[in-house]
Structure 1
Amino acid sequence: MAYHVPTIAPVRRIRYFIFLKDVLILALTTFGGPQVHFAMLYERFVQKRRYITEAELLELNALCQILPGPTSTQTITAVGFKIGGPNLAYLTLLIWVLPGVSIMTAFGMAIYYLEQHNLSLRFARFIQPMAVGFLIVAGYRIGQKVIKNRTGLVLALLAAVTAYLFRSPYMTPLVIIVGGLTTGLTYQKQERMEKRPLQIEWSNFILWLGVLIVAAVAGALTQSLPVRLFENFYRNGSLVFGGGQVLTPILYNEFVAFKHYLTREEFLSGLGLVQAVPGPVFSFASYIGALSMRDAGPHGQIWGSFVATAGIFLPGAFLIFFVYRFWEQLKRYRVVRASLDGINAASSGLTAAAAVVLLQPMVPHWPSVAVVLITMGLLIYTRIPPFVLILGGLLAGVLL
């Protein structure tokens, strides 16, 4: 009697389609920075769908924390890579960034019109304190998972104090490295695993470095604004660690204080609006790119948004594809696995510092503090989806 053996490929394709649908849902409903995104990824990818385990997600997030680029974007791209390889990873990246990038591009194209016609942007004024509430709750929940002992608690506190006192983008990788080295010294507690010689594929690293050099040379030789914009954002995307909160002062210094492509008011308006936009906070780059080429008309603004978006997201994608290919071999070393505890603990401290820095200017304004506290209460004690809270904040801004 013959038995029909079903093929696996159609099952995989269906699973990939469901995964990409989940990525789209997250791209449309996930607000805030990488810490908030991580909580949402955990809820959908680990608890609901079980694509990966909690330990695997924490590993990927820790890996992305030590690489330059948008942490949440790299993490969700790495999950796609783990599930279905590079093709699914590229689709994951595209679907994840497209909604936020499209909205921020539209905001960039519309901001000048709104200014010229004296239309108020105060409808988004409640979103920033709400984002702080999201950040505090997400940091607390993540801290509960990753701080496992007294060493982890001390590392988190030291990371928070250091990041608060020394607000430099270079402090983020330093704090994370110190955290990883501290717990890496306790590698004897880790289980021994069979080691294999590292087999490193250098293609994506060479691609990342090659694009960086070619863009810099082409920008200097041609003085073309789109080429220079791409180089500016690609360079920033290659150097920034720690998410949108770290990227913000770097972009302000370059495009407002130094190059004057945007006014301070335009920059701050975009910064407020990006808090109300789902997906990666790095989509703020699309807004800046569109406004930087406002003199070239609508087509020029779209082109400016495109080169800025490509510039800010490509470095992180190239680097995570490079490192992830030998990550399974690398984590067989006990010192690497031990260092992840310190990296995660230090990252939770950085989250706390970011929350304090963002909350501090709001303290003299009691309505903003009230919005933060109400948001935290709703997140902790109710099951209202985050995007519903954001829409409620926008509606309150319009009515009030």
Structure 2
Amino acid sequence: MLPNLSTIRPVRKIRYIIFLKDVLILALTTFGGPQVHLAMFYDRFVRLRGYLTEAELMELNALCQVLPGPTSTQTITALGFKIGGPNLAYLTLLIWVLPAVSIMTAAGMGVYYLEQNYLSLRFARYIQPMAVGFLVVSGYRIGKMVIQSQISLTLAIMAAVAAYIFRSPVMTPIVIVVGGLTTALTYQKQERMTKEPLQVQWANFFLWLGVLLAAAGLGAVTQLLPVRLFENFYRNGSLVFGGGQVLTPMLYNEFVAFKHYLTREEFLSGLGLVQALPGPVFSFASYIGALSMRDAGMNGQFWGSFVSTAGIFLPGTFLIFFVYRFWAQLKRYRVVRASLDGINAASTGLTAAAAVALFEPMAPHWPSVVVVLLTMAALLYTRIPPFVLILAGLLAGVFL
């Protein structure tokens, strides 16, 4: 007997609505970065709903970790793709990023309003050194995980030195590619696995590449700031391996050190604030986009936030749709697994270089140094949630 399609479709829609409700709950409650996100994904999607098994979730997360882009965002988007295809995946992406993106857009507009009305930003003076402390600890933690050999340590140091000396966005892809190629040569150390013929569907790859080339070409021809912002963030989103802590130095080099769209103080204030929010750290792009178009008025700031948000999140989405279909075959190639060690080591070096560059101007001011050290100690030796630290810093800035 054939199933009744009129019954199946409403049941499926109800299931999709429940899933999207779960995504919204997580978007409003997942503080603490990818590690915490993964634990909450497990509690809700595996234990509570049974959308997938623990092994499937861990493998999906591992795939997203080795792709450029925001790991948590790609994981939850890929889960939407697994449950309901591309349409549900894009709805999942929208709901997951919307709360953090909205807050960071409002923060960017609020900072500009305060500056225009000659109001002091000193209430955020402790947030800026706290942001450096967050960056240092993130780099330290990721370094402990990925630096496992003399080669990876050397690559991390060389990447840090190169990024510190040559503060240009051009250095980021060079450092990452060199790191990946270096360890790819050591593929013999990887365990040999039986291979299966790759069955690749290229549509999403060509979509990713086509958008990248079209944005670069259109930006060069028109010189319109919204187009260039989209291209800048799309390029960064296509190159960032390792999550938000690696994205930070890339954005600092491009928008502060190189293009001067933001001041160092504005950048650090936004970086500190995004640590206190639930959802993806990549929502920091919305703040930068809004401030980058401050001269275009309120509508321009909304537009800047929109194109920056789209630019940072779309590459990872296109790539996870592309690779997810043949990842089981791809991961069996030793050269692919070997290259990831160098990419991760180089990303650690980029984070270290950004931390040093951001800390340098604070070094002569002992109160800022103390705040950096206290933040690091709290993150390393206590279980105080990051958002509580940031809120404490804001309150201290207001009352002291």
Q: Does 1:284 align with 2:287?
A: yes
Question: Distance between the aligned counterparts of 1:220 and 1:164, measured in 2?
Answer: 27
User: Could you tell me which amino acid in structure 1 is paired with residue 273 of structure 2?
Assistant: A
Question: Distance between the aligned counterparts of 1:179 and 1:314, measured in 2?
Answer: 25
Would the alpha carbon gap of residues 190 and 214 (structure 1) be closer, same or farther in structure 2, given more than 3 Å must change?
Answer: closer
Deviations 1:4-41 (A, max 9, x none): xxx99788986775455334423xx34xxxxxx34544
Question: Distance between the aligned counterparts of 2:331 and 2:302, measured in 1?
Answer: 42
Partner of 2:50: none
User: Could you tell me which amino acid in structure 2 is paired with residue 291 of structure 1?
Assistant: R
Alpha-carbon contact 2:219-2:228 (below 8 Å) kept: no
Partner of 1:302: 302
Deviations 1:232-288 (A, max 9, x none): 1221123334413212342347865xxxxx6x66x8436523431333222223423
Aligned match for 1:234, one of 230, 236, 241: 230
Aligned-pair identity in percent equals 55
Q: Does 1:244 align with 2:241?
A: no
Q: TM-score, normalised by structure 2?
A: 0.76
Q: Does 1:61 align with 2:69?
A: no
CA-based RMSD of the aligned residues comes to: 3.5
Alpha-carbon contact 2:179-2:339 (below 8 Å) kept: yes
Deviation at 1:90, TM superposition (A): 2.6
Q: TM-score, normalised by structure 1?
A: 0.76
Alignment of 1:296-335 (within 5 A): 298-299=298-299, 301-335=301-335
Would the alpha carbon gap of residues 88 and 149 (structure 1) be closer, same or farther in structure 2, given more than 3 Å must change?
Answer: farther
Alignment of 1:135-146 (within 5 A): 135-146=135-146
Question: Distance between the aligned counterparts of 1:213 and 1:347, measured in 2?
Answer: 24
User: Could you tell me which amino acid in structure 2 is paired with residue 234 of structure 1?
Assistant: F
Q: Does 1:173 align with 2:173?
A: yes
User: Could you tell me which amino acid in structure 1 is paired with residue 272 of structure 2?
Assistant: Q
Deviation at 1:216, TM superposition (A): 6.6
User: Could you tell me which amino acid in structure 2 is paired with residue 62 of structure 1?
Assistant: V
Would the alpha carbon gap of residues 311 and 345 (structure 1) be closer, same or farther in structure 2, given more than 3 Å must change?
Answer: closer
Partner of 1:77: 73
Question: Distance between the aligned counterparts of 1:119 and 1:207, measured in 2?
Answer: 45
Deviations 1:93-140 (A, max 9, x none): 323432332123323444454234332111111112111111222222
Partner of 1:275: 272
Q: Does 1:196 align with 2:199?
A: no
Provide the secondary structure at the position in 1 that maps to 2:148: coil
In structure 2, the gaps of 5 or more residues are 1-7, 47-53, 241-246
Partner of 2:3: none
Provide the secondary structure at the position in 2 that maps to 1:293: helix
Question: Distance between the aligned counterparts of 1:166 and 1:219, measured in 2?
Answer: 24
Aligned residues between the structures:
364
Deviations 1:320-341 (A, max 9, x none): 4334443332221111112222
User: Could you tell me which amino acid in structure 2 is paired with residue 287 of structure 1?
Assistant: A
Alpha-carbon contact 1:101-1:309 (below 8 Å) kept: yes
Partner of 1:67: none
Alignment of 1:1-400 (within 5 A): 17-18=21-22, 21-26=25-30, 29-30=31-32, 37-41=33-37, 44-45=40-41, 57-64=61-68, 71-72=69-70, 75-85=71-81, 86-87=86-87, 89-212=89-212, 228-240=224-236, 241-242=239-240, 243-252=247-256, 256=260, 268-269=265-266, 271-277=268-274, 278=277, 279-280=281-282, 281-288=284-291, 291-294=294-297, 298-299=298-299, 301-400=301-400
Would the alpha carbon gap of residues 176 and 42 (structure 1) be closer, same or farther in structure 2, given more than 3 Å must change?
Answer: farther
Deviation at 1:398, TM superposition (A): 0.6
Question: Distance between the aligned counterparts of 2:258 and 2:353, measured in 1?
Answer: 24
